[in-house]
Amino acid sequence: MPEQTVELPGSPGELLRPARDPALRRAQIMVLIAAFLGWMFDGLEMGISPLIARPALASLLHTTVERDIAHWQQIIDAFFLWGAACGGLVFGWLGDKIGRVKAMSVSILVYSLVTGSLYFVQTPWQMAGLRFVAAIGMGGEWALGVALVMEVWDARHRPLLAGMIGAAANVGFLLMGVVGVIVPINQSNWRYIVILGAAPALLMIFVQLFVPESHKWKESQKVAPSKPIKELVGDPKLAKRALLAICFSSVSLLVTWGAVQKIPSWVRGLTDNKHAAGYVQMLSAGGAIAGCMLTPWFSAVFKRRTIYFLLCLLSMISCECLFLGFTHLNLGFILLTFVVGAFSAAFYGWLPLYLPELFPTRVRATAQGIAYNFGRIGAGAGAIWGGMIGKSYAQQGAIVSSIYIVGMAIIWLAPETKGKPLPE
């Protein structure tokens, strides 16, 4: 029977409503919990860096010179992004070869244990290396979780689920903001904060015991074992879609890592309030959660391409207003931080909805992993390049944010998938 494609998204209550097949609904709920927690812990891990980077580097470098600290922060951010790009390819490929659940378990174990190992670093290069390896696991988890959820749940729920997955990382980012408010992080306690990064290792046990494998993936393997790279590259249609998906992801990732993620660090230079960076990170994450939840719903009502175009336009306007309009921390800055967080992160609710609709089951995890994480290669280069294009975080953010113009142009080259089933 062909999959039904009802475009109006289901309500949150429908996800928990008893199904005709209790075993199927239980499996769906377990998959959703695993994917949400996996990406939430990813966000928690990503939220650690903006809070500890300055005190950690000051401690490791034995200096408080801003230029030296900023230089190393850019290098570490770049290594993190390049690791995530590798992880998207490696674990996406593993997900198509051995199954989503097995590959997800390994990815979670990698990023949690390696992040906890930051406690022992003695040099900035050691920190960069461990962030690279941890990011390999994080980069793989997104592609696997999205593929698993979208293949297990029916079409009606996809917009809502995409929003939940997109918001999950920002829930983790928000939690780290709360930690930053409660505990002022300094050179003496930053090592204890990274130990929190080892906590997701417990999630791997839950995934192995309770999360079922995608039935669609199992069915695809009955035809023949997947050869995702060969199939993806060998099909001109899929190859073109993969290139476009890389562009869509790159636009959002470049601005996120080249500008928005640096707002907490920028704030530290605008005020003496030790809690300010934590509060700003909480507000940015709160806006991001709202943006991620609402965007897939609008994408289900309107066309996918139209929503992406509007997100680029609104994100660029709000970012330019923030970076060019303020030189000190005030109420307007704080409110606009929420708006910037909402628009710039809304892409991460759009991507989990749109990318699965571009690729068939046999190559979906690999294609998503490449598309979503390939953008991090450019974002990593941008993290270093961005530090060379402006005399301040504000100038850097304003220049980097102009990349949204590219997104507004290339989206019209992509197929419109609204109302269509997932490709089999």
- pLDDT tens digits along 389-414: 555 677 788 888 899 999 999 999 99
Residue 407: the pLDDT is 93
pLDDT band for position 6 (cuts 50, 70, 90): very low
Paired tokens of 280: 């700003």
Cα separation, 166 vs 348, in Å, equals: 5
Q: What is the mean pLDDT of the chain?
A: 82
Tell me what pLDDT residue 305 has: 93
CA distance 278 to 176: 8
Write down the pLDDT at residue 206: 86
End-to-end CA distance of the chain: 12
Tell me the C-alpha to C-alpha distance, in Å, between residue 225 and each of 94, 161, 215, 229, 265. 12, 28, 15, 12, 47
For the chain, what's the residue count? 424
pLDDT at 12: 56
At 168-190, the pLDDT tens digits run 887 887 888 788 778 878 888 88
Q: Please give the Cα distance from 134 to 14 (Å, whole number).
A: 36
Q: Are 344 and 252 in contact (CB under 8 A)?
A: yes
Q: What is the mean pLDDT of residues 135-162?
A: 80
317 pLDDT above the threshold of 90: yes
Residues whose CB is less than 8 angstroms from the CB of residue 13 and which lie 6 or more positions away in sequence, other chains included: none
Q: How far apart are CA 397 and CA 136, in angstroms?
A: 26
What confidence score (pLDDT) does residue 302 get? Answer: 87
Residue 100 has pLDDT above 80, yes or no: yes
pLDDT exceeds 80 at position 166:
no
Q: Tokens in use for 372?
A: 């979503």
User: Within 10 Å of residue 2's Cβ, how many Cβ atoms?
Assistant: 6
Q: Which of 13, 47, 38, 68 is nearest to 264 (CA)?
A: 47
Average the pLDDT over 117-128 and give the result: 93
Burial class of 11 by CB neighbour count within 10 A (0 to 12, 13 to 18, 19+): exposed
Stretch among 45-54, 79-88, 332-341 having the lowest mean pLDDT = 45-54
Q: What is the pLDDT confidence band of residue 318, given thresholds at 50, 70 and 90?
A: very high
Q: What is the pLDDT of residue 306?
A: 94
CA dihedral 380, 385, 386, 391 (to 10 degrees): 150
Q: Of residues 123 and 259, which shows the higher confidence score?
A: 123
pLDDT at 15: 55
Q: Kindly report the backbone phi and psi dihedral angles of residue 24, in degrees, each rounded to the nearest multiple of 5, phi listed first.
A: -65, -45
Is the separation of the CB atoms in 264 and 280 below 8 Å? yes
Ordered domains of the chain (ranges, CATH): 22-413 (1.20.1250.20)
Angle, alpha carbons 356-360-362 (nearest 5°): 115
The rounded distance, in Å, linking the Cα atoms of 119 and 132 is 15
Q: Cα 400–404–68 angle (5° rounding)?
A: 15
pLDDT over 70 at 8, yes or no: no
More confident residue, 131 or 277: 131
What percent of the chain lies above the pLDDT cut of 90? 14
Spatial contact of 375 and 250, defined as CB atoms under 8 Å apart: yes
- pLDDT over 90 (residue 137): no
| Whether pLDDT at 375 is above 90 | no
pLDDT number for residue 13: 55
User: Around Cβ 23, how many Cβ atoms within 10 Å?
Assistant: 9
Query: Amino acid identity of 323?
Result: F
What pLDDT score was predicted for residue 123?
94
Q: In the chain, how long is the greatest CA-to-CA distance?
A: 65
Least confident of 15-24, 195-204, 307-316, 358-367: 15-24
